[in-house]
Chains A and B, each alone.
Chain A
Amino acid sequence: MSAVVAGTKAKLQNLLPGRIGSNNAFSDSYVEELIMAGFHEAAEACSLVVGTESVALANDTLVYDLAEPFIEITQVEWFDGSNRKGHLTCATLSDLDKMSRKWWDSTGAESEFYSLLSAPGIPETSTDAADGSRILVWRPVTDATDLSLRVTGFVCGTTTTPISEDVQRMCIVPYVLSHLNAVANPNMAAGYLAQFESGCDIVRGRFSHRYDEPTYGV
């Protein structure tokens, strides 16, 4: 396992000796950006990286910004200080309508449900043309002292995120090679892209089928 950019770039330099770097065919920054593009595609396709974000709750507040570049949110828990108090159940706004006709104005001592406004991973911008990713927490708590949320999900990762060597080799390396050949030889690029897809299928299977036998509730 190695940092995604450093590890993948080393593998590419072995495959393309003397072609990556200053005064070579492909600059370092160009190749590093392609590695991150491949990493994001693989992270989205295979759910490679798990991340969390802590959100401090405020009195009578229903909606909070989510800053972490989530791809998917899998779990939302709430904490009193460092003590985990429980998890929130996801619900649509229509579900909330069925529980309380005027849920927007309702408050309580504990929150039970959450919903998401906008897809995860969208940054807040300077204007209100559209909003970034937010989480709606219901019921808003009247006294939020020491209360916080922990949002868990799959994230994009950064240039130094450690990634398995075989994921780099099966997914990200062919992805970058595909792009490097896109102009000179589009057919070869399509072939490398097929290798990337195949690699993602193998990696995804490893993450989504972790048990050889049925699991049991405890």
Chain B
Amino acid sequence: METWQDIKDFFWPAVQDSETSQIFFNSTQALAWANGALWEMGQHAQYTDLIQEQNTANGQRVYTIGSSGSAPYGVWRVEIDGEAIRATTEADVTNLGQNWETRSQIPRFYYLDGFIGGTGDLAKIALYPEPNGIYELRTYCYGVPEQVSDSADTDKLQVPQWAIYGVLWYMLAEAFMAETRRQNLETSAYYRGLYDKLLDRLQMRTASRLPKDWVFGEGGQEFTRNFWSNLPDTIPEP
């Protein structure tokens, strides 16, 4: 089982219905349940990493990541010109003093809050200090799995192959929960249990995907935020 068509081939007989007659359920419901499963699995297990690259512009503080309908769930790393910068909060930045908005140099921090409201689009990132030129901005995000559609039902589902049955169990749990003549709450609970267990395994597998039993050390003291904030743009020759 790899594609949306494979899932449909199993789902319709399992609910004792067919894709052509659609007596108890319809294609819209099936699609909504499958995409609901993909959203939930992606958000809960954070199993897809999306790397986005764009250039900064002089004087532009805020950048959009992702696109409409596929905004990433979260950001886990940001680089400027290949070097990781650190996360901060809008409150910390604004508390720096009244001149924080006019400070302009190579960005060393990013923050994600402060964008709630307005369009409601959370897929934005702000840099501090404001870029004073063109730098390569690379953002590592938890991506949204690609949604399935009947017009592309031979596309592979963006789920680890061993976990693809989770989409099916979710759909069956929803189908047997729905108020139709096929409603069977015990069966729905059975499939929900299978789905929940698989979701937990997927989360564990994703979080521990590197067989890593040791950590790299770092010489010296960890740099503090004040150190990074106070670095000049360039250090002149002695």
The smallest beta-carbon distance between A192 and chain B, in angstroms, is 11
Q: How many A-B residue pairs have CB under 8 A?
A: 157
* Interface 9-residue window, one of B100-108, B115-123, B126-134, B150-158: B150-158
B60 at the interface (CB under 8 A from A): no
Say whether A183 contacts B187, CB under 8 Å: yes
Say whether B161 contacts A69, CB under 8 Å: yes
A residues near B47, Cβ cutoff 8 Å: 118-119, 122
B residues near A102, Cβ cutoff 8 Å: 81-83
Partner of B216, one of A41, A98, A123: A98
Chain B residues near A (Cβ < 8 Å): 1-2, 9-10, 13-14, 16, 42, 45, 47-51, 70, 72, 77, 79, 81-84, 138, 140, 143-147, 152, 155-163, 165, 168, 176, 184, 186-187, 189-191, 194, 198, 201-202, 205-206, 209-212, 215-218
A residues near B161, Cβ cutoff 8 Å: 40, 69, 121-123, 156
A175-186 Cβ-contact flags toward B at 8 Å (1 or 0): 000000011001
Cα separation A134 to B163 with both chains bound (whole Å): 18
Say whether A44 contacts B162, CB under 8 Å: yes
Partner of A119, one of B45, B146, B176: B45
Partner of A104, one of B82, B158, B205: B82
Say whether A182 contacts B190, CB under 8 Å: yes
Partner of B158, one of A117, A132, A190: A132
Cα separation A29 to B145 with both chains bound (whole Å): 28
Cα separation A119 to B147 with both chains bound (whole Å): 18
B residues near A134, Cβ cutoff 8 Å: 49
Say whether A131 contacts B79, CB under 8 Å: no
The smallest beta-carbon distance between B71 and chain A, in angstroms, is 10
Given A119-B160, A126-B152, A130-B145: A186 and B190 interface contact (C-beta under 8 Å): yes
Say whether A130 contacts B48, CB under 8 Å: yes
**Chain A contacts with B in 189-217, Cβ cutoff 8 A:** 189-190, 193
Question: 14 pairs across A/B with beta carbons < 8 Å?
Answer: A30-B13, A74-B211, A93-B84, A98-B216, A99-B216, A118-B143, A129-B70, A129-B158, A130-B48, A130-B72, A130-B158, A182-B190, A190-B190, A193-B194
A82 at the interface (CB under 8 A from B): no
Say whether B42 contacts A130, CB under 8 Å: yes
A residues near B51, Cβ cutoff 8 Å: 117, 131
**Chain A contacts with B in 104-161, Cβ cutoff 8 A:** 104-105, 115-123, 125-134, 156
Say whether A189 contacts B210, CB under 8 Å: no
Given A33-B1, A122-B48: A131 and B143 interface contact (C-beta under 8 Å): yes
Say whether A186 contacts B165, CB under 8 Å: no
Q: Find the B residue at minimum CB distance from A105.
A: B82
B residues near A132, Cβ cutoff 8 Å: 48, 158
A1-42 Cβ-contact flags toward B at 8 Å (1 or 0): 000000000000000000000000001011001001100110
**Chain A contacts with B in 55-106, Cβ cutoff 8 A:** 69, 71-74, 90-95, 97-99, 101-105
Say whether B10 contacts A119, CB under 8 Å: no
Say whether A130 contacts B144, CB under 8 Å: yes
Say whether A118 contacts B210, CB under 8 Å: no
A residues near B216, Cβ cutoff 8 Å: 91, 95, 98-99
Most buried by A among B42, B138, B163: B163
Cα separation A2 to B10 with both chains bound (whole Å): 25
A residues near B2, Cβ cutoff 8 Å: 123
The smallest beta-carbon distance between B124 and chain A, in angstroms, is 18
Say whether A43 contacts B143, CB under 8 Å: no
Say whether A119 contacts B206, CB under 8 Å: yes
Say whether A121 contacts B162, CB under 8 Å: yes
Say whether B143 contacts A129, CB under 8 Å: yes
Say whether B49 contacts A117, CB under 8 Å: yes
B residues near A97, Cβ cutoff 8 Å: 84
Say whether A130 contacts B201, CB under 8 Å: no
Q: Which 4 A-B pairs have the closest CB atoms?
A: A130-B143, A121-B160, A69-B161, A130-B48
Q: Find the B residue at minimum CB distance from A37.
A: B165
B residues near A90, Cβ cutoff 8 Å: 210-212
